A and B are shown apart, each in its own frame.
Chain A
Amino acid sequence: MKGRLGAAGVAQLGSRCLWPGAAVLLLMAACAGNRPDATTPVIVAGSVCSGLVALSAPGPASQPSAASANALAYVRTTPRPELVVYDLTRGRERFRVPAALASRPELLADLVVTTDPHGQLIAFDASSGARRFSVKLARPHWLGAVRVGPNLVFSTTSLSFRPGERGSTVSAVDARSGALRWERSVPYALSRPSARGNRVYVASDHADVWELDANSGDAVGCARQNSGPIDWIQLGSRSILVGAAEQARELTTPAHALGLPITQLPGRPALLASQYDAAPAQRSALGRVALLAELAATTAGPELVAARYFFVFYRELFAFGADGQLLWARLLDSDVVRAQTLAGSGLLVLSEDGSLLQLNAASGALRTLARLAGPIDSADLAASALAPLPAGTEAAPPLRRSLAEIALDTDARLLPGRRLAVAALGALPDPEATEDLLQLYAQAGVPEALRARVAEVLAQRRAGREFLVDALLADYDFLDDRSPPPLAAIVPGLVALHETRALPRLVERLFDPDTRLSELPIVVTAIATLGGPSALPALAEFLAMYHADSSLAAAPDALSAAARALWASSVPAHRALVASVARDPATLDDARAELTALLNPETTNSAPLAQAEPETPKPEAALPITLSDEAIARTFVEHADDLRGCVLSELASNPALRAVRLAFVINGNGSLSGLQVLPDHAELVACLKPKLLAAHFPAFGRARRLANYTIAVHPDARSFERPNDNAAGENFWHFAQLRAAGVGRTGKPWWRNRNPLFVSVESEPAPSPSASQAKQPTGESTGTAPAGRAAAPADAWWLPARGGRASPPAPAAPPPTAASSAEPPAAAASTPPPTAASPAARPSETQTPSDAPARPAAADAGQSAPPDAWWAPAPSNPGPK
């Protein structure tokens, strides 16, 4: 085993052997026997792997087996459940076997591997369909398998909330007989394995990458990145790429990360699928919403192969350049079940109706390879030797037409995809794209959110002015189900283009009862701008007719705009009209006030008339319909310092505070009301309320929305180190148990910097009886550690509930604190472990008993959750109430 012993580890080893009495002697003997050598991994920074054991470079990839080189395995449940393998080279079905399956089949060399609902791994011969073997899974949830020479290596996990049951297992079985070769278990989350050469790689807890020997299961290397979570591993010939969300990076040079502009894509797909996700055999969104990106490692970090990536959204396919520019789009007849890139040259797509399609990567030209019997629930593709589709095989439709087809599609599930198509249409220079957008806007039954998006996009367009002018002709029609045109979107463009042909139609819209109130000022301003003196009679008629009418009471801006234009004309008759309207007691109050200001600029301290240009009010369509959680969070970030002060003040009187929960209403104009604070301590409320009421959120279209926000309060775990008593030959799965014993130093969790309102509690070190014996270490520079810190809390989530392989050293009693004194240590030890944290989200931060006041189990569970995690439990006791 590769590795090296750090200086801190040596020092800790000494401190470990300072235990008093006989225990010390026994332990020293043990230490002497287990003294690590230069190849022993060292546990530092709270992680089982701290990068001290270097990963070896992945070797060459093994050649794919002929049986699975060009095949397709798929699952059908209708009319009866069965597994079918199709030979892509020969273009015919290889076999079909009746089978009720639980997980998506995987083509692995000469095997097709899947699981059944009874928790068994089933392996079929990929050529004949004969059942090779079945093996009972170690844990109920199957993650996936890889083929490494004669072995089949797979991982399973338990999502149980019971600490004793949750965890993950990597198993290796003989690929011919199913005999167990080796098995390793850890009490936390592992990814599905990846393999290269004779090595198996797994990511543990989204943080570490472990390299295992495929024959023995021994850990031969490990690495940890502190630059972000790891959801997947991709192995190159000389590098290991890891990543999560929209980012990919090389393991050893994480600074050169590749980030794709995919965060706005519907469904928020990750750059590569997470290897912590299980793929079911049944119909699911996995595969139907997916990003397909081929990555290669270079000296500058990861790169996109052929500088393009693909996005699948149910029936929609999009191809993007590396810069996020849309290259082509296609709308298929049915949902994509599975898609695979073909070495940068194209895409192989299997759709739910059984169509096997090959697409040209550059043009989107499409050819149907086969029509299989559908409906298909799930599938695995292995098309390593498929010839790419030559360009020009079949003409691809123009991008505009494809996008219009997607945007006009009425499939209610695909609304996010339609929004994407609308945005892409708006960015096209083709004038006809304007027509498409207008047609979409007028389409009956278009969801309001999409219609608002179309209006936003139209407002930005300058191409296709003739379509914009014609759109003004369309008025509301009850019998024809026709909506009024989106004037807020159309008119600004026409004014910018100085399109005077629009003037008569704008006047029609001015007197159209179905012109939206919010759009009237835009129309008035446009008429005044485009029409000049010729348009003034229409404005005069409008002002006279509506100056006292309640229909404009809610939006008198249109009257004011008309009056300004008339007054600015200097035509006596028009000025007289404005003056008489201003004097008329029946004139709407708001309008009269504005007109009075217009006529008497000196007395009302308003702007001079000459400068009184009609303002274009912000159209409602420009506002978002509602406020997103991100926008709310941004506003909180702006006021983070103020709010943090309130929380810190509350902490002074309530040290047990672990979260401040805020519930409130945000009004459409961005103001906040109805604030509820928990804990509802008067001082805290009095501090927070004025600050939050003064905060201004972005305005949005709806009248109001409910919102809540939680300010997490986390104890700042203190660093400590433990001597390395790890015996040579012990493997990575032992380290979790050592960590449970408090061996190691906690590092800063990756998620900590993501919460700007994170409030760190600097816990005062409690006076410890053992402090006189062993000085409290504070970091790596300190070479000693107290014996008392060797122990994890009795209710620590990572402790196995039963059947632990290596028992940690007996913990010394935690130093008494105000909180812990109320509960004797024995009672604390018997406290049932918390059940809120999932194994896949284990925090990197470990708290020791002496770091924070002893708290009940639930509070510890809450502490182990990231502050922004949805599953973070509320601090139940001691409650801030």
Chain B
Amino acid sequence: MTAVSRAFILLAFGITLGALHARTNAADRALPLARARDARDVTPSLAVAKLLESHDQAEQLMLLDELEPGPEAAHAARTLATLLRAGQPDVVTDHALDALARLRSRDAHEVLVTFTRHRRPDARRRAYAALAALKEPSDSSLFEQGLRDSAPEVRAVAAHTLGELHASAMTPSLLRALGHGVNEAAPALGQVGDANSLDEFDAFLGRLPLPVMLAGYANYLQRTDLSEQAKLRIVAALENVSGPAVKEFLNELRQKPCNACSPKLQRAFDSAQSRMRSQPGGTRP
């Protein structure tokens, strides 16, 4: 047998093995997919019932991912609460919490509060995100507690949600969080802080990264409940910092439609922008 023949036989053998392996993998993947198709075929309440009975993790995940808000959301939420309290592997817990966030059912509130104290930071973050989806202003104190969490990702969600909830009573906590490096508190403060909070917010200018501060200022400037005088102070403070980033920021504000921007404020944007250097170290026009 020549070397070429031997090589050909080896190649053919290898191709056969590869094909067999590919078929096996395909079969493995086909099983959960088939189960998923089965899951899609059932009604939501049946899917939830199957969820509790199933011991197949892939099937559980598929069923969880299929859950959407609807008339049976409350029932599904209660079922998921039962599932979560029974204790699940990480991935199932995470998918269940995400499903609860989609369902937005008040029936899951209690279990979600419980999971804001879960040992796994990722589970806590998802629980806070699910609670945020409920948009309950009464949960502000819960999110304020989230600002005190040991995990940065949890603090970030809590800060963001406090802004979304317009929890102005939590402004002091958000300012403290910003001082402790929770950057997400800056845009939240822009959403909830009043004119008095601006002085304390301005104090972070130069200490925190400029993009963080600009995210907060952007929200302050777009507020209709903030006085024009306070907004002019913001422009003045930004002009003191100056630089291309600020210039671009003001330019974007100028170009965007802004209901909260008075003509005087628009002119302040223009004049501040015109006085700023376009490049670092460049001369002022």
Contacts and interface: CB of A to CB of B under 8 A. Distances in A.
Contact of B85 (A512, A545, A549): A545
B139 to A, nearest CB: 18
Interface string B133-157: 0000000000000011110000100
B86 interface: yes
B285 interface: no
Interface stretch (A100-108, A451-459, A476-484, A775-783): A476-484
Contacts of A512: 117
B90 A545 contact: no
Given A478-B155, A511-B117, A548 B147 contact: no
Nearest to A481: B180
A514 B180 contact: no
A549 B148 contact: no
A581 B88 CA distance: 11
Interface in B76-132: 85-90, 93, 114, 117-121, 123-124
B176 interface: yes
A547 interface: yes
Contacts of A551: 118-120
Nearest to B55: A585
B177 interface: yes
A548 B120 CA distance: 12
A480 B145 CA distance: 12
Given A478-B148, A479-B148, A550-B90, A513 B177 contact: no
Nearest to B88: A548
Given A478-B180, A586-B88, A552 B173 contact: no
Contacts of A758: none
Contact of B148 (A477, A541, A544): A477
Nearest to B181: A478
Nearest to B91: A550
B86 A513 contact: no
Given A478-B150, A511-B117, A548 B180 contact: no
B87 A479 contact: no
Nearest to B147: A479
Interface string A468-508: 00000000111110000000000000000000000000000
A543 B87 CA distance: 8
B150 A513 contact: yes
Given A477-B148, A479-B148, A545 B180 contact: no
A544 B85 contact: yes
B113 to A, nearest CB: 11
A546 interface: yes
A550 B117 contact: no
Contact of A479 (B57, B93, B121, B180): B180
Nearest to B119: A551
A479 B177 contact: yes
Interface string A652-685: 0000000000000000000000000000000000
What size tier do the contact residues of chain A reach? 20 to 34
Interface in B230-264: none
Interface in A60-80: none
A482 B127 CA distance: 24
Interface in A502-534: 511-514
Given A479-B176, A546-B87, A549-B119, A513 B148 contact: no
Nearest to A520: B119
Contacts of A549: 87-90, 93, 118-120, 123
Contacts of A543: 87
Interface string B149-186: 11000010000000000000000010011001000000
B119 A513 contact: yes
A76 to B, nearest CB: 42
B114 to A, nearest CB: 8
A478 B57 CA distance: 36
Contact of B87 (A480, A511, A513, A545): A545
A548 B119 contact: no
A478 B173 CA distance: 11
Nearest to A548: B89
A616 B16 CA distance: 58
Nearest to A475: B148
Contacts of A547: 87
Contact of B89 (A476, A478, A545, A586): A586
Contacts of B147: 478-479
A512 B117 CA distance: 6
B175 to A, nearest CB: 10
A487 to B, nearest CB: 15
Contacts of A586: 57, 88-89
Given A479-B180, A480-B148, A513-B124, A552 B89 contact: no
Contacts of A550: 89-90, 120
B97 to A, nearest CB: 13
Nearest to A482: B148
A552 B120 CA distance: 9
Interface in A579-610: 581, 585-586
A444 to B, nearest CB: 12
A478 B86 CA distance: 30
For the complex of A and B, list the 9 residue pairs with the smallest distance between their C-beta atoms, beginning with the closest: A551-B119, A551-B120, A544-B87, A548-B89, A477-B148, A478-B148, A513-B119, A586-B89, A545-B87
Given A479-B173, A549-B123, 11 more contacts: A479-B177, A513-B118, A543-B87, A545-B87, A546-B119, A548-B87, A550-B89, A551-B120, A552-B119, A581-B87, A586-B57
5 contacts: A476-B148, A513-B118, A544-B85, A544-B87, A549-B87
Interface of B: 55, 57, 85-90, 93, 114, 117-121, 123-124, 147-150, 155, 173, 176-177, 180
Interface of A: 476-480, 511-514, 541, 543-552, 581, 585-586
